[in-house]
Every structure is written in structure tokens, then in C-alpha cells.
Structure 1
């Protein structure tokens, strides 16, 4: 298979996985094949430098998730990994060789470099920061090359071609999870009441909208329906929106690619974030109007309403456990919870362990997802 064919096949799999992360293992395996690597990992965190909280870790090798390696790294190596603070200062979007993030002496004595990375097949890999403006910390770790050719020009070029699409995968997945649509289809998203959803045909004309999107378009504050097409309120935003839609709906044989942008509203309101995802059109289509692009409109500043009584009753938690669970879902750190309650951080961690035991889970990310699934109920 040529490099071009491998790229297009992998790209299609990444965009398929955006609506259902159960498809990510297959996409991850194709990334490994296209790049000629042993595996690739995604790390997602939140918070300022020096206080980044890990929200998600996904270590995959040839499409197989290695949760054993995830647990081992987070429990034993992440707190002492010397490269973590240096990587946090590395420019976004620029790949760096993993070994270059360690000092000469650390290459010899670092447990993370000499124990954890060989287990994960990424001691000779690359890392790329794909952070978002909303303070999400996204890292894509690319595993060791499968052969002795090392990091040649063509291999690095493939990584660079894929990295914006991997970043877009994480952005769309985050938006869908916050919208309560963890696993969805293009059609079922129209029933979602937490985010704006629009279907566009191959010419960029609006086919369907959900109630949230309809309300946004009617208000005209940021985005409007202009004779069946999307128009941004600000001229500069309209230029970017047109470019985004053109990339997702190419008139030529170029591959359709998605993207995201911030879309300004009035000065009193936080901006929307618009995600555009191409949708494969069945062939031959005999000229019928099919959905060719999905547009998702998210409002990052909007907090989901979490009813503590619903959380307590549903998860069978004590009042103290409920407070910790709700605060964690709202983004507070263990330190912030300890300061707010006058307790020690150890006491907060004990509450978390009790909650984990009751819910048969093991990570903060699992608890956050569980609590957010109850948002807006009751």
C-alpha cells in the first residue's frame, strides 16, 4: 500500500472513531501501520502548568489497549517522570524525540525512561503536544519504529500529516462526552439537547438541525442561517468558517478533513466552539442530497447542572462522598477540595477510595464520567 493510500485509509478511520470511541482501537492500529511504529498513546489532562490533572490515558499497541501499562505508569512512574515538566514547556504541535526530554544522567538512571518506556515500546519514540485553548493538555506519544530505519524523513512526515487529525479526534470526543453523546450516530445526534448539531450536504447547505442549533441560528448571535447556508456574525470568523467548511467539503478529489474554530458572540457571552466532521457519502449516490458534514456547536463555558441529591441517591453515597464526587466532576483538584472543607488531602483521597470501591471503578476519570452522566437529571 502506498503512503498516500495508507494516509487516506487511516484518516477515514480516525473520523469514523470520532462518533464512537469503540472504533478508536482500529484507527490506532492503522496509525501504527501507516507510521511503521509499535504503538501510540493519548494522554489528556487539565489545569495550569504544575497542577495538571490526568483525565484520560489510552495506551494502544497494534489496536490493543494496554490498561495494565496505563495503571502501572500512572501509579509508579508518572509522579517521578523527569520529562513531564519539560514536555509541558515544549512548543505545541512540534514533535520531539522522547530521549531529548531527559538529561544525560537521567538516560542512565531514570526509572521512567529505563523501565516504563521500554515496557510501552516508546523509548525511541516521539511526543507531540496538541493542547487546546481551554486549558486541555493533550499529548500524543508515538511508539518506537518497527524496523532499523529509525525516524527517517517519510516516517516523520506521516506523523506530521496525521497529528492535526488526532488532535481533532480528541476535541470532538471531548465535546460529545460533555454533550452526553459518548456513543452516537450522525442521525441520533439530532436528538441531543446539550449541543448544537447541524447536517450539511456536499455543497454546504443545511439539511437538518436539532433544537439547540435552531435556537442558536434564530438568535443570530455568532452564527445564523443565510438562505440555507451557515454564516458567522463577525467577518473574520466568516472567512475562517468558510475555510473550515471547504476543507470538510472539498470540490476536488482531495481528502475531506475536519477542524475546529472559536466563534465570537456578543461581548457579554463566551464564544462558541464549532467542530466540523466530514461524513462519508455512499457511492454511487445518483445525485441525492446526503449528509456530507456534521457540525457540532459547543459552549465551553457552560457548566452542566449536577444535582447532588441525584448523585447521592443514584450512586448511594454519603453526603461527604457526594460533595467530593460533584466537585471532582466540576473540575476541582483534591487540594482545592481539602482547602474548601478544612480537611487534609489524605481525607479527600480516602473518600475517593470509598467511592471507587462502591462503584467498582479505579480512576478519577471514571468517576467524572459517571457523575456527568447524571447531569441535568432531577
Structure 2
């Protein structure tokens, strides 16, 4: 009967890797299985008294102030016990003679905390830390720890080790994820990841703010929808085209413009893996917040100053006629300049010009503010 319940307990312990608060429930079960007053799990830096991590059962948490005052401090003689094996179970009686004055004094302190003698499971971890489980009897419970209790702790040891290994690995991954999310949230470009059904899988802060503040877009049950039917149709058409792309290098541009609001320019690109579409990456940019540096555009695409100016003007929304009037040149001169821009940038349409310049500024905006 013990074996079945023990296996259930060991399995339940693995939930602690995802939910650290679950340790209370698990240690309460360990406490009941061992028929003791309290159970605590600690991680100490090997060879020191430095406590790096701790989990307690509900009784120990309730009486934590009392336990810390009389037991969990540098005066605890158990901290002087050396680990001679990577895995060992130690009873107080194995280490301290009954007439040891230091331990007899410590027993009195234990009694003030309502605790009696202990049994410990010590595991030396690969990272030079000591993972230890300490179980205490009640102060008036003088029963010795039997072979069944010792065997239970040895059976518990590999599961306890594995849970802490998984916890450390998961913590490392979560720290990196939090760091990456923090970096991405500092970008000036909105980024979203969609599945084929236009469900938003992930988005950074800028993207969420742009969608939230826009009257032309909305999220319903995490699905992205455009309020203008024509724009939404174009959006769905883009999503249907992307899975048929072979190179994964194609880009699609969509502009959302509502009265009284800045235009939002959106670029779509596929995220491919092993030649298969996994997600659609969506980059969002407030057009009014987008600035093109004429000199940088000139250098990037090897344009003349005049060509760079007309390229930026067209990308920022001016018509060819408006640009010609603004610069005081003939429409014919403007056409010749634009044709030269098309040739140098290997494009054939104004929409391609917008896409290329938008990509250049989007790439630059990935730099943290």
C-alpha cells in the first residue's frame, strides 16, 4: 500500500517544477508519510551555511518565526555535518552522542520550537550545492527513525533531484524569455505572430498598443480583424497567399488608415521551418512616427541626393505631382528621377519603393531606444 501511495507522491512532486507554491502540499504529504512534525527542503552552498533556497510544509510556515529563532540559524550544529557521499540519509543519533553537550543544548532549543530529533536526506548536486530534506519529530515523540523511513527517503532522492534539475532549467529558460520580452518591448516597431487563422499567438507591447488604440483594427478572441471590409479582405488574401510562397523571403504590405488617425503600415512575412509555414510575422509601424533619413537612404541604395529626396517623399505619401510642385521642378523631371530610383533599387512600382524603404527603417528601428 505504501508503495502505490509513494509513487503517487513522487509523481505529484514534479508539479513543483512549474508551480513552486505546490511544495507546501507535497511536503505536507511527505510529512504525513513519515509521521513527523515538520519537513523542510533546503539548498545550501556546499561547505558553507549560506542558504540559497528553501521550501517548508504548512506547519513549518505557520511557525516559521519560532523555528528560525531557535533552529534555522548559524548555531545549528547540523550545519557542521560533512557530506561523505553524494547521497546519504543521516539521523541525529548517527552523528551526535547522547551525552554531547552541544547537541543537548540544541535539543533544548528544538523543544522551544516544538520539535524533536531529525532525519536528513543529503544530496550533493553537480553545481556544488547541497540539496537537503530535514524532517523533525514532535518534541515529545522519542520514537527512533526506522528502516522504512530511511528506505522511503532513498526512494524519494532521485525524484527530488530531478525536480530540482528541471526547476533550475525552467528558471533559466524563463529568465532568458523575460529578458528577450523586455528587449522586444523596447523596440519602436510593433511585432505580432499569427497562425493561419489570424489568431495572435504573441505580440510585443508596441503592437498591442497600436491595435488597442486603432479604430481600424480589433482583437476578438485573440483573432485579428480589420474594421474596413476591403482592408480585411486584403488581409485575408495575404494570409492565403503566404503558405504558397516557396522562398520565405516575400513581403506583403498593408496600410490601415482611419479618419482622424495616423496611418498604420503593416508588413507580413512568413516564418518557415523545414520548408513549411509555421507562423506569419507581422510588423506594425505608425506612419507618422516613421522617419526616413534622406542621407541614409541615399547611401543605402546608392542614390543621388535628388533621387533620395523623391524616394523618401513618395514613401511618405506625396504624389509625383505634389513632389514636383513642392520642389519646383517639372513633372517630367520628377518622373525621370523616380525611374532612376526604380532602376537602382531593382523595383518596378511605387508600392515596391514603399516596401523597401519601410523595411530599411523597420530594420533600423529594431535598435533599442
Q: Computing the radius of gyration over CA atoms, which structure comes out larger, 1 or 2?
A: 2
TM-score (norm 1): 0.41
TM-score (norm 2): 0.42
